[in-house]
Amino acid sequence: MPHPIINADECSACGICVDTCPQGVLDIVRDAAAVVNEDACIGCGECMEECPMGAIEDIEED
Ligand code: SF4
Ligand code: SF4
């Protein structure tokens, strides 16, 4: 399943990726974006494209 790789140190917790994800994969947990519903990720990359901080580094397939 694909899943985003988030660098929490770069994340401003703006929530844009949470609102952008069509699958409800992300949420803000302890002041940073986190994957809370990994199985739902479809690897679309929209979260990475919309992040203003470049905190979503990659969409990893495994
Ligand atoms: S790649 Fe797409 S489905 Fe996966 S977390 Fe990002 S926006 Fe959501
Ligand atoms: S869009 Fe980027 S900076 Fe904003 S909460 Fe998501 S990962 Fe963090």
SS (H, E, C) the chain: CEEEEECCCCCCCCCHHHHHCCCCCEEEECCEEEECCHHHCCCCCHHHHHCCCCCEEEEEEC
Atom of ligand 2 nearest to the CA of 16: 1
The whole-number pLDDT of residue 62 equals 80
Q: Say whether pTM exceeds 0.85.
A: yes
Measuring from atom 4 of ligand 2, which residue has the nearest CA?
14
Name residues contacting ligand 2 (CB within 6 A): 6, 11-17, 33, 51, 53, 55-56
Domains of the chain: 2-61 (3.30.70.20)
Task: Measure 11 CA to ligand 2 centroid, in angstroms.
Answer: 5
**Mean pLDDT by 10-residue block, N- to C-terminus, for the chain (62 residues)?**
96 98 98 97 98 98 86
